[in-house]
Structure 1
Amino acid sequence: MRGSNYSTKMMVLATSMLKLSICTAWIMPRQTPPQRFEIDGFAQGTTYHIVYYGLAKTITNKQTDSLLKSLDRSVSLYLPGSLIRQFNESDKGISIDEPFRVLIRKALEINKATDGVVDVTVKSLVDAWGFGVKKAAAPPGDEKIKQILTNVGPEQIWLKGNFLHKKSKDVQIDLNGIAQGYSADLLAALLDQSGINDYVVEIGGELRIKGNKPGKEPFKIGIEAIDGTDMAPSPLRKVIAPGRGAVTTSGNYRKYLEANGKKISHIINPKTGYPAINEMISVTVWAEDGITADGYDNGFMVMGLKKTLRFLEKRTDIGAYIIYKKENGTVADTVTTGFKGYDID
């Protein structure tokens, strides 16, 4: 009888648990799928676009605009009164803020790594060749370039505490070659801090990526091609899905000037003072962050194909997809080991 009574009690308990389980399942809310949110804006003389997925809109245009305007007040060459313009107009230098310091430190690090082909003191050369805020009437002559080069080089500036020093009043710096990648990093950090794990940030063509679309579909990025022997852009050459990190591109085919029937690249070699002329057409760089990718892409354009491939040969923390022109004039491409997402077409 004890056994029967025990079995009966167990059956009642099991039935009660089953009812509880059914009730619990019935009252459990269904999981809400993540929604797609977009933010568009204008900053740093270009546009920016953010796509992210989440359960609610947690980032607003006001936040992103405020963040980018704050950086502009630090390093924009176009904004009157910005810290970088104060520095360029000063005799010996000025005190700078944290974003400015981050960019200067990184720029000097990359300058050393690339044997000087990335140099923020290049502004006077950029202006002389007509690619600055004020457009030059004509390309500079040899003597003018020689004179400008006396104020170009990493030894012309040094950071001590919060004070950025300069050797002379004529030393001028330009952070445009690295600042947009850093801007993408700042926007990505804002999303991370808000608990957003799936997003794409784009500003002026520079990208930061994290996570996936719903259903684990990866974010895909198109790399523009060059058609045949022409320097005009054509349909996409490659579609990649890096999964995370930053992707930036530098190229000669969109931004150039014409003088005496020749196209002049906007990418200046700070060691010679002249526009870079080699087989490189474009370099798309992947790195863990935008400040690194953006900081190196122009440098690879100046270094040329062979030096860039040697530089990246054993690197997995940074990689490049390179479009270049062969000796016979045809267009080809190559990729290094550290370039993420290349296996998707």
Structure 2
Amino acid sequence: MILIHLMIFYLFAPTSHQVWNKYRINGFTQGTTYNVTYYSQERLVNENQLDSIFNRIDLSLSVYEERSLISQFNNSNEGIEMDAHFAKVMQRSQEIYQDTHGFFDITILPLMEAWGFGKKGIVPTEPNSELLKEVKKNIGTNLLKTKGNLLSKKKPKVRIDVNGIAQGYSVDVVADFLEQNKIVNYLVEIGGEIRIKGKRQPSGEMMKIGIESPTHQKHLPKSYQKIVSIPQGAITTSGNYQKFYESKGKKIAHLMNPKTGYPLQNDLISVTVFASDAITADGYDNALMAMGLKKAFQFVSKRKKLEAYFIYKDDNGVVKDTATTGFYSFFR
């Protein structure tokens, strides 16, 4: 009888209720905006801490920062010693280069500049075939060599740009920092690249992500093609409809095919990739864009840890969409 009374007491004893607060931090980094939302009982991370993280990443990986390690590498004839940020991005870049058979390539900087996409002040112009032929001699991640923390180049004119993967990596660095500070319900977004863990608190609702419509115009409120929710992981998007210029009546978009040396010209408008971390999703989204719909769909379908959503134009120019089986489960 005493045991039963004790059990009833513990079942109905008053419990302390957790008080959840929603914290938001936003600002500018890497030429774009960032937004961090997390749920906690108290403020555990602040803006100054995040700015410090971004500054260290910029000093490693920003081609717009003259003092950065990547700028030092690009200005060198042989190579440099990498820091931890540089080494991690380099390793993943080389892995994705191999896996995509060269559709993802960080040595693309000279090609981007040849087409007028690069540092501010470069006048967008369409290069001639002779210039592209010379530029392509220095394109290929196989022209890079790593040994420990040393990164060397096989040709002095090889230069790299990790913008196609660095924002995803930065998202992961911030997400890992939040987890180190015991935050388990969060959303980190930098320039549209997102990583999520946990749920909104105290409601327990899943967090929602909007995939931007390719017909969205910058001066109007955002319109979304789809709304998705993921329990945990990263989602990034690569699109060919925002950064471009016109030359001789043609639209020259900023995404390049490193194999041909020319801007992408295929049926894909945008690709949204899901992976366990943002560096992986970000690294693959541009490569999938370069492959075109059929090849990209087959590529993702063969990889268990990737899912993708594609917006494309059919043979009649009609905008349509499709997704891998796993991605359909994210639609809300």
TM range (shorter): over 0.9
Q: Is residue 319–residue 340 contact of structure 1 (8 Å, CA) maintained in 2?
A: no
1:295 is aligned to 283
Task: State the Cα deviation string for residues 252-307 of structure 1 (Å, max 9, x = none).
Answer: 11111211121111111111110010000000000000000000000001000010
Q: Specify whether residues 137 and 263 from structure 1 end up closer, same or farther in structure 2 by C-alpha distance, changes over 3 A only.
A: closer
Cα deviation for residue 164 of structure 1 reads 0.3
Identity among equivalent positions (%) equals 46
For the pair 1:261 / 2:249, whether they are aligned, the reply is: yes
Q: Specify whether residues 327 and 78 from structure 1 end up closer, same or farther in structure 2 by C-alpha distance, changes over 3 A only.
A: same
For the pair 1:326 / 2:314, whether they are aligned, the reply is: yes
- Is the partner of 2:284 in helix, strand or coil? helix
For the pair 1:95 / 2:81, whether they are aligned, the reply is: yes
1:217 is aligned to 205
Q: Specify whether residues 146 and 159 from structure 1 end up closer, same or farther in structure 2 by C-alpha distance, changes over 3 A only.
A: same
What residue ranges of structure 2 are gaps of 5+ in the alignment?
A: none
1:238 is aligned to 226
Task: State the Cα deviation string for residues 154-208 of structure 1 (Å, max 9, x = none).
Answer: 2211101111001222111000000000000001001111111111000011000
TM-score (norm 1): 0.89
- Is the partner of 1:226 in helix, strand or coil? coil
CA distance in 1, matches of 2:309, 2:172: 21
- Indicate which of 91, 95, 120 corresponds to 1:109: 95
1:150 is aligned to 137
CA distance in 1, matches of 2:265, 2:206: 37
Cα deviation for residue 236 of structure 1 reads 1.2
Cα deviation for residue 227 of structure 1 reads 4.3
2:177 is aligned to 190
- Indicate which of 281, 294, 299 corresponds to 1:306: 294
CA distance in 1, matches of 2:97, 2:134: 21
1:4 is aligned to none
Which is greater in Rg?
Answer: 1
Runs of 4+ aligned residues of structure 1 deviating over 4 Å after TM superposition are: none
Q: Residue type of the partner of 1:195?
A: K
Q: Specify whether residues 137 and 247 from structure 1 end up closer, same or farther in structure 2 by C-alpha distance, changes over 3 A only.
A: closer
Cα deviation for residue 338 of structure 1 reads 3.5
Q: Is residue 205–residue 248 contact of structure 1 (8 Å, CA) maintained in 2?
A: yes
- Indicate which of 234, 238, 241 corresponds to 1:250: 238
- Indicate which of 117, 121, 132 corresponds to 2:107: 121
Q: Is residue 247–residue 287 contact of structure 1 (8 Å, CA) maintained in 2?
A: yes
1:53 is aligned to 39
Q: Is residue 318–residue 339 contact of structure 1 (8 Å, CA) maintained in 2?
A: no
TM-score (norm 2): 0.93
RMSD: 2.2
Q: Is residue 224–residue 233 contact of structure 1 (8 Å, CA) maintained in 2?
A: no
What residue ranges of structure 1 are gaps of 5+ in the alignment?
A: 1-9
Q: Is residue 240–residue 254 contact of structure 2 (8 Å, CA) maintained in 1?
A: yes
- Is the partner of 2:223 in helix, strand or coil? strand
Cα deviation for residue 226 of structure 1 reads 3.2
Q: Residue type of the partner of 1:209?
A: I
Q: Specify whether residues 17 and 185 from structure 1 end up closer, same or farther in structure 2 by C-alpha distance, changes over 3 A only.
A: closer
1:205 is aligned to 192
CA distance in 1, matches of 2:284, 2:194: 14
- Indicate which of 174, 177, 181 corresponds to 2:164: 177
Q: Is residue 233–residue 253 contact of structure 1 (8 Å, CA) maintained in 2?
A: no
CA distance in 1, matches of 2:224, 2:92: 31
Cα deviation for residue 30 of structure 1 reads 3.2
Number of residue equivalences: 326
CA distance in 1, matches of 2:214, 2:23: 33
Q: Is residue 249–residue 284 contact of structure 1 (8 Å, CA) maintained in 2?
A: yes
CA distance in 1, matches of 2:267, 2:241: 12
Cα deviation for residue 315 of structure 1 reads 2.7
Cα deviation for residue 341 of structure 1 reads 4.5
